Amino acid sequence: MASQVASKLDEVLAEGRPALVGYLPLGFPTLEKSVEAITTLIDNGVDIVEIGIPYTDPVMDGPVIQAAAQTALDNGTRPKDVFHIIQQIKQTHPATPILVMTYYNPVLRYGVDKFAEELAQAGGAGLITADLVPEQAGEWIAAADKYGLDKVFLVAPSTPPERLKLVSEAARGFVYAASTMGVTGVRAEVGNAAEKLVYQTRKAGAKHVCVGLGVSNAEQAKEVGKYADGVIVGSAFVKPLLNESQPWEQRLKTLSEIVKQIAAGVANSRGTLAKPH
């Protein structure tokens, strides 16, 4: 079974641009409204969706995503809800790959094989496991391979070459290159460590490398898109939805405008450069 995510990346790269990967948390502010928000991402230029499972101890999440996740938890959102949400979105947007981004503990508690089976049945593409390294991922790798799911692992600027090779061999879909050390969030600049990391990860054997953490506007997206196969945006998409002084429809409208701006930056990132290998 072909990788949903790799196939989409190949398709988009063949057009001469990187992919725009958009993150939103499951169940924020409610399950129904999170479907509307995710659909807004896709309708305005996001190629691949990441749905984050809210977690009680989000050590890698910045304040924006933490605030949204806490609201979702307070409203009773549970990991199993992600399967129903994916099914709903795939009914109207069957061509958009949907990855689940999660800490590993909720998957362990649910049952790794059971989680993988239900994710595949719902039409999900795979998992981004933020806190799981390949050496400790044997059960998840076996389940993902069994059900044809993508396995996205993270690398950072501090990751040594031998680990880059290990992660590149274990990953399926893409390798997630964290542009900086630290938590998620909107930043003034992405930093030049990301480009070097992408180069080194490709050199280590990764076919596709996408960059996240800190990409928050069209200019940054354009810069990252020059060298990455995909540009991952999270906090910048979550932030307008947190503005409770505005009605929900207005928040969605603001989100759609931000997505369009960043999608335009991504689309223009390659300019007259040759199409990527």
Asked whether residue 20 carries a pLDDT value surpassing 80, the answer given is yes
DSSP per residue, 71-107: HHHHTT--TTHHHHHHHHHHHH-TTS-EEEEE-HHHH
Say what the pLDDT of residue 66 is. 79
Considering only 37-46, 183-192, 268-277, which range has the smallest mean pLDDT?
183-192
The active-site residue, picked from 15, 36, 43, 50, is: 50
Asked whether residue 167 carries a pLDDT value surpassing 80, the answer given is yes
Average pLDDT rounded to a whole number, residues 176-204: 72
Task: Please name the amino acid found at residue 102.
Answer: T
Asked whether residue 192 carries a pLDDT value surpassing 80, the answer given is no
Q: How far apart are CA 202 and CA 217, in angstroms?
A: 25
Say what the pLDDT of residue 272 is. 43
Say what the pLDDT of residue 140 is. 98
Asked whether residue 121 carries a pLDDT value surpassing 90, the answer given is yes
Structure tokens at 45: 């230029």
Beta-carbon count within 10 A of 95 CB: 11
Nearest to 82 by CA among 98, 70, 67, 95: 98
Say what the pLDDT of residue 73 is. 74
Asked whether residue 172 carries a pLDDT value surpassing 60, the answer given is yes
| Bond into 94 cis (ω within 30) | no
Question: Domains in the chain, ordered, with CATH?
Answer: 4-267 (3.20.20.70)
Over the stretch 243-262, which tens digit does the pLDDT of each residue have? Answer: 889 999 999 999 999 999 99
Contact 122, 83 (CB under 8 A): yes
The active-site residue, picked from 11, 47, 61, 145, is: 61
Say what the pLDDT of residue 277 is. 33
pLDDT confidence bin for 65, thresholds 50/70/90: confident
pLDDT confidence bin for 185, thresholds 50/70/90: very low
Q: Residue 54, SS3?
A: coil
Asked whether residue 189 carries a pLDDT value surpassing 60, the answer given is no
Whether 195 sits among the annotated catalytic residues: the reply is: no
Say what the pLDDT of residue 57 is. 63
Residue-level length of the chain: 277
The sign one gets for the Cα dihedral 210, 221, 17, 254 is positive
Whether 50 sits among the annotated catalytic residues: the reply is: yes
Over the stretch 125-157, which tens digit does the pLDDT of each residue have? Answer: 999 998 999 999 999 999 999 999 999 999 999
Q: How far apart are CA 157 and CA 113, in angstroms?
A: 32
Beta-carbon count within 10 A of 233 CB: 29
Q: How far apart are CA 255 and CA 132, in angstroms?
A: 31
Asked whether residue 106 carries a pLDDT value surpassing 90, the answer given is yes
Asked whether residue 213 carries a pLDDT value surpassing 80, the answer given is no
Asked whether residue 22 carries a pLDDT value surpassing 90, the answer given is yes
Q: How far apart are CA 4 and CA 94, in angstroms?
A: 11
Contact 140, 171 (CB under 8 A): no
